[in-house]
Amino acid sequence: MTASDIKKAEQVSRARSLIMAVMAVVLLIQGALGFGDEATSMTPMLRHGLWGLTILFWLIILATGGWLRLRPSVRSLINDEMSLVNRSKALQAGFWTAMVLALAIYFGSMGWEVSLREGLRILVDLTIAAALLRYAWLELR
Amino acid sequence: MAERLYNRLLAIRSERGLTQAGLAELVGVSRKTINTVENGIFIPSTLLALKLARALGRPVEELFSLEPDQIGD
């Protein structure tokens, strides 16, 4: 481990947190704007496929810390003890967001028509956004 | 019961003439981790606390304490 590894890890870690924060906001905006909106030039299959891939991508980042192509020494620094604790806290935030949303959608659906697909999309978008925001906040403070 | 871990990491690191990045390099963690431990934001594991103590050449109880006035006695 060298001083340049420390410096590189700091830059990558900061960039990762900022990208996560931006992505969380994008997910929220995309969800708010696109929810229930079928008026798009993309075919439904492509739209749903892209959404699914985006979610899968961020789930992998949340699970692994991402940036897999970095040198092992830099990767171990950006996923050091504090980062792992922060990631764990972020996943906790995601879990509680999912539970609260699931309850809200369950009871909300009694008075408001919501399809299974719409409900799941709200749940997944907001859960991932909450986890990403929490992680970014913990890392950037 | 609210408990806090007090530490003298900043003082001892400064005495040794080490920067946060220098200590991070010795211990094998990011500079940010050293910074958050020094500021009491992050409570390190026993393993990290022992590595910090070894890197600074001090017993771990000299670095960390449950009481502010016990530090550095």
What digits encode the pLDDT tens for the residues B3-30? 788 999 999 999 999 999 999 999 999 9
CB B32 within 8 A of CB A81: no
Cα separation of A38 and A34, whole Å? 8
Instruction: State the pTM of this model.
Output: 0.86
CB A57 within 8 A of CB A126: no
Taking the Cβ of residue A125 and every Cβ of chain B, the question of whether any pair is shorter than 8 Å is answered with no
**Residue A132: is its pLDDT beyond 60?**
yes
Q: What is the dihedral of CA A76, B66, A91, A66, to 10 degrees?
A: -10
For B43, the domain range is 6-62
Q: Which residues of B touch A10 (CB under 8 A)?
A: 30-32
- Structural domain includes residue B26: yes
Tokens of A43: 């075919």
> Number of residue pairs across A and B with CB atoms under 8 Å?
45
Residue A67's SS3 state is coil
Bigger pLDDT: A12 vs A1: A12
Question: Which of A1, A4, A5, A6 to probe by mutation at the B interface, max B CB count within 10 Å?
Answer: A6
pLDDT in tens, A90-106: 999 999 999 999 999 99
CB A64 within 8 A of CB A76: no
- Structural domain includes residue B70: no
- Structural domain includes residue B51: yes
Tokens of A3: 């001083």
In the prediction, which pLDDT does A38 show?
Answer: 57
In the prediction, which pLDDT does B1 show?
Answer: 54
* Nearest chain B residue to A139, by CA: B32
CATH number at residue B17: 1.10.260.40
Q: Which residues of B touch A80 (CB under 8 A)?
A: 28-30, 33
Q: How many domains does chain B have?
A: 1
- Structural domain includes residue B72: no
- Average pLDDT on B51-69 reads 92
* Nearest chain A residue to B33, by CA: A82
Residue matched to tokens 């697909």: A117
